[in-house]
Amino acid sequence: MGPKLYCCPESGNCYKVRLLASLLDISLEKVELDFFHGAHKTPEFLAINPKGELPALVDGDILLTDSSAVLVYLAGTHPDPGSSKTPSNYWSAEAVEQAQIVDWLAFTASYISGSLSKARAFKAFNWPPNTSEESIKEAKARGVKSLKVLETKLEKSDWLALGRPTVADIAIYVYVALAPMGDISLEPFAAVKAWLERVKALPGYIPLTGLDQPF
């Protein structure tokens, strides 16, 4: 039995995994949960993932509960299409490159999730419903700071971690692309916008519903 991915269609974090699986031509056994009715908070799911979050990947004794780790797992254990070499170039066999990728995976968690992702979830889904105005204001301010950090990097290089696309780009792409859904404009960030287009042009790219038409 292969790895089982617990996910939901609305989540950008789940989309990251589906996107990488498509880029690497990997078939996953998916279990879709109804996020807005709390299917990720049931005792049954909390017994699988005590964080009560999606996505989660289970492969025998292995449990991964963060999308970045799932990306490393998939890219680390599969080759690129047409190649027999593992890991895929979306990850690396070299420790220095692995550290450079982890640096941007950490940026996803410490910057993007609490800012662009949070602003979008509230604006688009009123989620979580009791979010304060102050909290949204802080999230938007940190979102703009995040975009400035990305712009500084992407003015000098085509991809975030290395001279090629990696799981770092896949992890950060979606909530940047969705920033306008949280009322954060991408217009001042030309290098970021050009990078979004480079991601969209990757062979095997699949869109997320709402990505091109923010609501």
Answer for which of 106, 141, 194, 206 binds its own copies (CB under 8 A) is: 106
Binding mask 37-66 for its own copies (x = CB under 8 A): -------------xx----------xxxxx
User: Which CB, 96 or 201, lies closer to its own copies?
Assistant: 96
Both tokens assigned to 178: 């969705």
Q: Are 102 and 96 in contact (CB under 8 A)?
A: no
Q: What is the DSSP-derived secondary structure letter of residue 188? A: T
Q: Stretches 20-28, 118-126, 149-157, 203-211: which one binds its own copies (CB under 8 A)?
A: 149-157
189 near its own copies, judged by CB under 8 A: no
166 near its own copies, judged by CB under 8 A: no
The whole-angstrom separation of Cα 128 and Cα 52 is: 14
The whole-angstrom separation of Cα 188 and Cα 197 is: 16
CB of 121 to its own copies, least distance (A): 14
Window 112 to 131, contacts with its own copies (CB under 8 A):
113-114
Helix (H, G, I), strand (E, B) or coil at 187: coil
Q: Are 137 and 183 in contact (CB under 8 A)?
A: no
Answer for which of 105, 139, 170, 181 binds its own copies (CB under 8 A) is: 105
Answer for which of 25, 32, 34, 103 binds its own copies (CB under 8 A) is: 103
User: Which CB, 93 or 214, lies closer to its own copies?
Assistant: 93
CB crowding 131-150: b at 16 or more within 10 Å, else e? eeeeebeebbebbeebbeeb
Window 77 to 96, contacts with its own copies (CB under 8 A):
77, 86-87, 91, 95-96
Q: Are 23 and 90 in contact (CB under 8 A)?
A: yes
Please name every residue paired with 201 in a beta bridge, in sequence order, or none if there are none: none
Q: Are 71 and 3 in contact (CB under 8 A)?
A: no
Q: Stretches 17-25, 106-114, 184-192, 202-210: which one binds its own copies (CB under 8 A)?
A: 106-114
- The sign of the torsion formed by the CA atoms of 118, 64, 208, 203 equals positive
Site residues (CB under 8 A) for its own copies?
50-51, 62-66, 68-70, 72-73, 75-77, 86-87, 91, 95-96, 98-100, 102-103, 105-107, 109-110, 113-114, 132, 134, 148-149, 152-153
